[in-house]
Structure 1
Amino acid sequence: APANFGKFSNDLLVGNFGNGRINAFDPGTGAFLGTLSSQNGLPLVFNRLWALDFGNGGQGGQTNQLFFSAGIQNEQHGLFGVIAAM
């Protein structure tokens, strides 16, 4: 994650297809640091999470915007969204 991504700045983010969560790890030690959560503290969950990518700082979004795609409804439909750190 970029240096301006809130609580998980400079950490390794790993999306999980199975449970739909995005977990953060220390890139140096591999230690689990937590799960991306909503403002109310509940984990963000995107069923059948496919991909994660940060914006490029241009027309592809701000560098601290995390874009995701997921295969909702048993991968019959696609979902595209963005997560902004608070």
Structure 2
Amino acid sequence: KVDGLEVLRTIKNDANLKPIPVVMLTSSREERDLAQSYALGANAYVVKPVEFHQFITAVKELGVFWGVINEPPPEGSEPID
């Protein structure tokens, strides 16, 4: 079984996948997981609600944020390491 951090690590180590924004949608509130996610290149970290309808609302709000509110970097810009 592969956990989300391993998937994130794999994505960010692949030159073709690295530019794709990654939102960690998790049940973990552990500070260690939060810090490690950002250290590995996550663009956002969201603790998913336990209740199903709240979960659906959170996913919809994420879609609005990434699709409407968020301003992506300029085309061709490189991340600062």
TM-score, normalisation: structure 2: 0.25
Which structure shows the bigger proportion of residues in helix conformation?
2
* Greater C-alpha radius of gyration: 2
Which structure shows the bigger proportion of residues in strand conformation?
1
TM-score, normalisation: structure 1: 0.24
